[in-house]
Amino acid sequence: MKRRQFLRSAGSAGVLTAGATIGQSALAAAPVVKWRLASSFPKSLDTIWGVAPLLAKRVFELTEGRFEIKTFAAGEIVPGLQVADAVQNKTVEVGHTASYYYVGKDSTFAFETVLPFGLSARQQNAWLYSGGGLELIRDFLKGYNIISFPGGNTGTQMGGWWRKEVNSLADLKGLKVRMPGFGGKIMAALGAVPQTIAAADIYPSLEKGTIDAAEWVGPYDDEKLGFHKVAKYYYYPGFWEPGPNLSFYVNLDAWNALPKLYQSAFEVAAVEANMAMTTAYDAKNPAAMARLLKAGAQLRLFPRELLDAAYVEAEKLYAQESKSNPKFRKIFESWNRFRNDEQNWFRIAETPLAGYIPRTK
């Protein structure tokens, strides 16, 4: 901790009486800091929501309770989609959110979460932590007075629940598909009609046939919403979300005011939260998928021509955005180079072994 930070915080922590009594906290001389965290997610999405309290618990432990982060679910302080604003305005010091919720402000927000046909969970971590990605993201987010930390990845998502089979690209025409963001734009280019529908309205809309399909996350989360009861075809892969990364957004002034020790605690706890979300999903998804299949869900692979057409539309989108938005272009250049390198490398040892199916199975 720097001397100035220490002096600034010493008053509130009562430093002159603290620290030296046997049996007292080792950190008693450190300042008390209380933050509020607004999540974009409901507690029912327990795997995503859960890493916010996990982060808070670790930070609390590492500072012996002197740095306390109280966690609030979506809607408790601000609606889920207003978390970035709340952090920017310091309504809360920290948010747990998906960066791509804010592409309406600037399409550049997409990179920190995921882009169609982009990076897998492992590749996204590699880009962010070791490929220069996080520096670029943080540079962009300075304009919003935010610093970001990777905060969990779901892995490749499923392609959602469809009321009818999609056997060709032509079958997409006119279908009303609940799909936000770039995925929705690609669906529109392919002839479908993307719909924006809040989570709670998806089930009744699918049931009535007001919409024809809806994407959500993957087996563990989808099962809870019961979509398989009203749209039995479960498509894969969710090519628009190969490895979506969530983020801890921190107000930059609040961050800069933290003692160095607390910054270190937050930073390392965020890495743990990131790891924990993916391992939790990977451990929970297989059993959920087995239950869904038992309940009548029908697995279907998107037709190859649909994937190929979607890929072409995705590349067109990136070219357009790069042309119209210099911030998007700057990050796209790093991201796209990294993506090509990673995908070529993973096609060698990693994916062929993962895809190997023994004759005996």
In the list 83, 258, 269, 297, the residue contacting its own copies (rule: CB under 8 A) is: 269
Q: How far is the CB of 89 from its own copies (least distance, A)?
A: 30
Q: How far is the CB of 78 from its own copies (least distance, A)?
A: 29
Binders of its own copies among residues 210 to 249 (CB under 8 A) are 218-219, 236-239, 242
Cβ proximity to its own copies: between 170 and 287 the closer is 287
Q: State the DSSP H helix or E strand holding residue 214, giving kind and residue range, or none if neither.
A: strand 213-214
The residue whose two tokens read 């049996």 is 23
- Point out which residues pair with 147 in neighbouring strands: 250
289 binds its own copies (CB under 8 A): yes
Binders of its own copies among residues 297 to 326 (CB under 8 A) are 299, 301, 307-308, 311-312, 315
110 touches 329 (CB < 8 A): no
Spatial distance between the Cα atoms of 355 and 350, rounded to a whole number of angstroms = 9
In the list 53, 159, 181, 183, the residue contacting its own copies (rule: CB under 8 A) is: 159
Nearest to 118 by CA among 348, 349, 332: 332
Q: How far is the CB of 207 from its own copies (least distance, A)?
A: 25
116 touches 237 (CB < 8 A): no
Cβ proximity to its own copies: between 122 and 327 the closer is 122
SS3 324: helix
Q: How far is the CB of 120 from its own copies (least distance, A)?
A: 6
Fill in the per-residue mask, 60 to 89: x = in contact with its own copies (CB under 8 A), - = not in contact: -xx-x-------------------------
What are the DSSP calls for 126-181, one per residue?
IIIIISSHHHHHHHHHGGGTEEEEEEEE--SPP--EESS---SSGGGTT-EEE--H
Cβ proximity to its own copies: between 30 and 197 the closer is 30
Cβ proximity to its own copies: between 102 and 127 the closer is 127
Q: How far is the CB of 326 from its own copies (least distance, A)?
A: 25
In the list 6, 46, 180, 189, the residue contacting its own copies (rule: CB under 8 A) is: 6
Cβ proximity to its own copies: between 63 and 205 the closer is 63
Q: State the DSSP H helix or E strand holding residue 38, giving kind and residue range, or none if neither.
A: strand 33-39
- Point out which residues pair with 150 in neighbouring strands: 247
In the list 8, 34, 70, 260, the residue contacting its own copies (rule: CB under 8 A) is: 260
C-alpha distances (whole Å) from 221 to each of 77, 225, 285, 286, 290 are 24, 7, 9, 12, 13
Cβ proximity to its own copies: between 193 and 288 the closer is 288
149 binds its own copies (CB under 8 A): no
